[in-house]
Amino acid sequence: MKKSVRIALGLIVCAAVLFSLMLDATACIMGRQFGRGDYPKDRSSKQTAFGWYPAYEADYPREEVEFPSGRLMLKGWIYGAEHTDRLLVFAHGIGSGHEAYVNQLCWFVDQGWCVFAYDAAGSGDSPGDSTVGLVQSALDLNSALGFIEQDDRLKDMPKVLLGHSWGGFAVGGVLNFDHDIKAAASLSGYAYPLEMLDQGAVNVLGKGGAALFRPFAHLYNQIVFGKDAKLNAVDGINRTDIPFLALHGESDAFVLYSLGIISQQDQITNPNAEFYTISGDFAHHNDYFHSDACNRYVAAQYPDEARTQEELLGIFSSEHASDADKELFRAVNEPLLTRIEAFYEKALS
């Protein structure tokens, strides 16, 4: 064999080994980034009951169901089953489950809504070793809607969607599938999973490392999600003419405003799409769910920090938290929720 051929074969082998190592490293990084989002081990203890469902159970009974999504059987819950004329379907953010939003969901029950919420793959009380990736939330919502459409109690109710972050993408991305949805509202939802993935790589690896990582991350995404790998919210929103409301905090450092559905207004052709920028002191990724009084209390205790939903739960669920703290944490951003409900009411009328 000629020396030049041996060199060429050696280079090919080295390239193949390097490619394999990079793909393995990518899988490892993605596994860490999309690990499980678990609830606290004991949500019923004095230390945790301020923010999770056990604190609401007496006043807001729920029914547990299961439905398939891919190879998993996900857990879902029906709140406010006594209300039978309208259904809100909720998709949660990554890193926990739907109970991180239980006070907002109970607010909708108080307004006369039946609420269907679930824990997505690798989240909360649902099974799965990981949350899989940024497209997964839309696939799980698609499965949840499939279950609802077969359930005798739920299938005939007019349905609206609400989602935050990972779930905020889901309520746009799921419109690429065929479901009878009357309206959808996205809180801090990203528009394109691959763009969000690229930004996450920059955050973890820096610009240089992200540039090297990017093609392998996209390949990994293609391998994992196959035909759904390029699923995005903009195509879904444009595929329908249903009322769609995109809300986003101007100071969001997790799903950057520039990556949000709200930033794609020039690409969105749905004539019934609306956009609302949340501004002011509490316009980050999670804080705008809470009342102004709650946020000001947290800001006074922890100045110059944007608290995540999990951190807020920790603050108000500590052993030193009082009943007044509990009520303060439970207080929702009622003007915002009222705005969203009015958007739904207009669509249903």
pLDDT at position 87: 98
pLDDT class of 1 with cuts at 50, 70, 90: low
pLDDT at position 42: 81
95: left (phi over 0), alpha (psi -120 to 50) or beta: left
pLDDT class of 307 with cuts at 50, 70, 90: low
Tokens 């993605």 found at: 30
Mean pLDDT rounded to a whole number for the chain: 88
pLDDT at position 166: 98
pLDDT class of 279 with cuts at 50, 70, 90: very high
Least confident of 148-162, 197-211, 234-248, 254-268: 197-211
User: Does residue 31 carry a pLDDT above 80?
Assistant: no
pLDDT class of 7 with cuts at 50, 70, 90: low
What are the backbone angles phi and psi of residue 35, rounded to the nearest 5°?
Answer: -75, 180
pLDDT at position 294: 87
Q: What letter represents residue 50's amino acid?
A: F
Closest to 178 (Cα-Cα) out of 146, 223, 224:
146
Cα(278)–Cα(284) distance, rounded to whole angstroms?
9
With contact defined as beta carbons under 8 Å apart, do 64 and 81 qualify?
no
Three-state secondary structure call for residue 288: helix
User: Does residue 2 carry a pLDDT above 80?
Assistant: no
Q: What residue spans define the domains of the chain? A: 1-30+193-225, 44-192+232-348
User: Does residue 175 carry a pLDDT above 70?
Assistant: yes
Cα(88)–Cα(340) distance, rounded to whole angstroms?
11
CATH number of 44-192+232-348: 3.40.50.1820
User: pLDDT digit string (tens) for 325-349?
Assistant: 778 888 999 999 999 999 999 999 9
> If you average pLDDT over residues 250-279, what whole number do you get?
97
Kindly state the tokens that stand for 237. Answer: 């929103």
User: pLDDT digit string (tens) for 85-137?
Assistant: 999 999 999 998 999 999 999 999 999 999 999 999 999 999 999 999 999 99
The residues, any chain, with a CB within 8 Å of residue 113's CB and separated by 6 or more, are 80, 83, 86, 87, 88
Tokens 């394109």 found at: 192
User: Does residue 225 carry a pLDDT above 90?
Assistant: yes
Cα(184)–Cα(242) distance, rounded to whole angstroms?
8
User: Does residue 22 carry a pLDDT above 70?
Assistant: no
Q: In sequence order, what are the beta bridge partners of 74?
A: 67
Q: What does DSSP assign to residue 144?
A: H
Cα(90)–Cα(136) distance, rounded to whole angstroms?
15
User: Does residue 3 carry a pLDDT above 70?
Assistant: no
pLDDT at position 48: 66
Least confident of 116-130, 170-184, 194-208, 245-259: 194-208
| Burial label, 23 (beta-carbon count in 10 A; 0-12, 13-18, 19+) | middle
